[in-house]
Structure 1
């Protein structure tokens, strides 16, 4: 039986191997930058503009990998060519490999469009995981929701 807790992620199941040239410390690095939220494993480290977790590859100048893809390839298998990993939980920050399905881009987009909370006005959190807590009024009189934490960081010129 596969252990699906973050603490259990420290040891790869049988057949686990290193993805994307990451070192043997991948499971520990993932686990130390995460918190368990229900069945999801929230990545608390760096994220990209889309809200997906990123983790550095080993070695100087080797770039970064998406945390969910690295975890999937470490614990499950390589992602088949031409397929995306779809978060069944709909949480971009989740790196639990058992929440991921390799699917075509068309299927991934279609699933996202049907998901509850897909509409921007329905989402409680910004792509970086902060609570939407404000509303900005545009000069034309239209209003849009804004994450005040990200807005303040942006106006100061720093990342949230």
Structure 2
């Protein structure tokens, strides 16, 4: 018996005797309403786990294991604002623009309070029609019009 296994899981069973889902959930802890991932995390604070030979975000794994699907083109927003939370009741599929707009960063405040109504080509600037453009050599990202990007890509 290994003392670390007993301390972490509460039992002396071999970790290999547990199913993948049992091993996954043994690495979580309750914190109020949140179910927090207590194992590996990315630099940005999101829980990560290696499954099927690749590193995956744990909140996406938990969401899909609950029988729900993440529609194409959408991301999961943590309604609780806890990036390590895997409680599927705290996750909602939204567009990336909506996810950024709901955030607390200065960029999120800028997206929700877009200073002008139209881009330089006359397209309406809304949170759905704006994307974050990161230019090489520039520290600050800028916001750009998605319609203009689609037109440039088609040309």
- TM-score normalised to structure 2 length: 0.53
Match of 1:75 in 2: 66
Residues 54-65 of structure 1: pairs in structure 2 closer than 5 A:
54-58=48-52, 62-65=53-56
Moved segments of 4+, more than 6 Å: none
**SS of equivalent to 2:84:** coil
Alpha-carbon shift at residue 31 of structure 1 (Å): 1.6
* CA distance in 1 between partners of 2:23 and 2:63 (Å): 15
Match of 2:41 in 1: 47
Structure 2, unaligned runs of 5 or more:
1-17, 110-155
Alpha-carbon shift at residue 28 of structure 1 (Å): 1.2
* CA distance in 2 between partners of 1:97 and 1:91 (Å): 12
> 1:57-93 deviations in whole A, cap 9, x for unaligned?
14xxx11110000000110412111001000000001
Match of 2:19 in 1: 25
Match of 1:89 in 2: 80
> 1:5-64 deviations in whole A, cap 9, x for unaligned?
xxxxxxxxxxxxxxxxxxx93431222111100010110110111110011114xxx111
**SS of equivalent to 1:110:** helix
Decide whether the 8 Å contact of 1:33 with 1:44 is kept in 2: yes
Decide whether the 8 Å contact of 1:76 with 1:97 is kept in 2: no
Verify: 1:34 aligned to 2:28, yes or no.
yes
Structure 1, unaligned runs of 5 or more:
1-23, 119-160
Counterpart among 108, 111, 116 of residue 102 in structure 2: 111
Greater relative CO, 1 or 2 (CA 8 Å, sep 6+): 1
